[in-house]
Structures are given as structure tokens and as C-alpha cells.
Amino acid sequence: MAMRQPAADSAYAAQKEAERTGYPAFFTEMQWRSVEALMTERLAVAGSYLFWEGEQADKLYIVLSGKVKLRKSTEDGKAFILSILQKGDLMGGPEAGRQSAYGCSAEVAQDARIGVIVWKDLEELLLSSGELAVRWMNGMALQQRIAESKFRDLLLYGKPGALASTLIRLSNSYGRLRPGGLEIGLRLTNAELAEFIGTTRESVNRMLASMKHEGILSVQGGLITIVDLPALRRVCGCPGCPACPKEVCRI
């Protein structure tokens, strides 16, 4: 039987490392395998819900493929999109299983494979390994930073700043360079953009029209392209990297 050469082993390890994006990237391959051993894989079709706001939070969910929207409703009937999650992103928190409830609903936006972990099983694993628990805590801390930075932009810079911030975050998560600028490779309606910032579709229509008129962005085939990123950053007071790295400035 042929033996794999050290160089091949290194290349294989590097490939496996690159495949771990999002939350799994906080762990070594062996550590993540121990987490994967707790998962039950679930296929979810677009339009279905993984959980609803107010349900008991006794499970955590990891996106293995596809996309999931986190939605939040207010008492006065307003709907917000908190995030659009993709491969490697985690739903649920350390309070899961502590007689708490999910603070939002998870709608499958694109057919997805989901890893489901019962919190009690994960808790036992974390108690058995201090290093694993610290790495898990680091991942949760990053999620907290992302949430705090979103709230900052929503509160400090008004609706135009909130929209500008959302577009920048979308470009960091789904952007691809094109001759005309940075194209956001995710089709979103103006109504969906409005749900990100808690405003109306009509307000988003006006703000996008103003940005197009100023040459900040363009729209082709339902896809938004950021033409003048520095101008968009000025709208929301974005400090740019390294003050706000891309792993934090994401949707």
C-alpha cells in the first residue's frame, strides 16, 4: 500500500483547514470533528423555518450549506432581518437550554444542510476540554462584536448610514470584484433591504436612487454594485480596516 508523502500530508491538512470557514475556523480539525460527532444533519428547503422566535432554545444550528435569514419581529408589527447566514455560521448561544427562548426566527432562504446540536450534549463536551471551551467562547465573542457593530451603525448614523453600513457588510460577505466595482452577489429586494434597517421600502427606494445619482452605486439585473466604496463609507462613518476588520464588518 502506497504511503502518503509528508508534502502531500501538509497539502491535505491545508486543504481541510481552508474548508473550515466561519465558526469551525476557530477550532483545530480534531476539535471540530468532536463537535461534528454531536451533530444530526438536517435538510431544510427554502421557505421553511428551523425555529421560531419564542421557542425554547435547547438546540444550536450550524449552516453546512445554503443560506438562512434570522428574522426579528417587534410588538408594533415591524419586521427586521438581523442577518443572512451562510456556510459555517452558528445559530443559538451559550444560554441555549437554560429555560431561555430564541430571540428571533430562522427562515431558510436557500435550500440548506443544517447541523443540529443538542445544547446538553455540547455542554458536556465543553466541560471535558478547557481549550475547546475557550475556542468556543472566542467564537461567541466575535458574534457579539458583529451584533454590537450593527447596532452602532443603526443608532448613530440614521437610515442612510444604516443602509450604507448594510451594503458594505453585504459586500464583505458576498462581494465579488467586477470591472465596474464591487458587486454584491446576492439578490435582495428593496423590501428586504428595508427590513435590515427598520424602515419602509419607499425610503430605501429614495436612498438608493440618491446613491445612484451621486455615482456611489449602480444596479444591474437586480444586483447592486458599489462603485465608490470610500463615499459609501463616509455616509456611515465607517473607519475601515483594521479598526473594523471584515470578520466583524459582515452581514
User: Tens digits of per-residue pLDDT, 10-27?
Assistant: 443 444 444 557 889 899
Both 155 and 120 in a single domain? no
Q: Is residue 11 part of a domain?
A: no
Both 185 and 219 in a single domain? yes
The CA-atom distances, in angstroms, between 221 and each of 121, 167, 224 are 46, 17, 8
Q: Is residue 120 part of a domain?
A: yes
In the DSSP assignment, the letter for residue 200 is -
Q: Is residue 9 part of a domain?
A: no
Residue 156 CB: number of other CB atoms within 10 A? 12
Write down the pLDDT at residue 212. 94
Q: Is residue 133 part of a domain?
A: no
Structural domain ending residue among the three candidates 64, 96, 128: 128
Both 104 and 187 in a single domain? no
* pLDDT tens per residue across all 251 residues of the chain: 444 555 544 443 444 444 557 889 899 999 999 999 999 999 999 999 999 998 888 899 999 999 999 998 877 777 788 889 999 999 986 555 566 888 889 999 999 999 999 998 999 999 999 999 999 999 888 888 888 877 777 777 788 999 999 999 999 889 999 988 999 998 899 999 999 888 889 999 999 999 999 999 999 888 999 999 999 988 888 776 666 677 778 87
The CA-atom distances, in angstroms, between 15 and each of 11, 25, 62, 135, 175 are 6, 12, 21, 21, 23
Q: Is residue 213 part of a domain?
A: yes
Write out pLDDT tens, residues 72-119. 887 777 778 888 999 999 998 655 556 688 888 999 999 999 999 999
Both 182 and 117 in a single domain? no
Q: Is residue 8 part of a domain?
A: no
Domain that holds residue 154: 149-248
CATH of the domain at 98: 2.60.120.10
Structural domain ending residue among the three candidates 97, 128, 159: 128
CATH of the domain at 233: 1.10.10.10
Q: Is residue 142 part of a domain?
A: no
Query: Rounded to whole angstroms, how far apart are CA atoms 192 and 173?
Result: 16
Domains contained in the chain, number: 2
Both 166 and 112 in a single domain? no
What is the grid cell recorded at 107?
Answer: 427562515
pTM here?
0.80
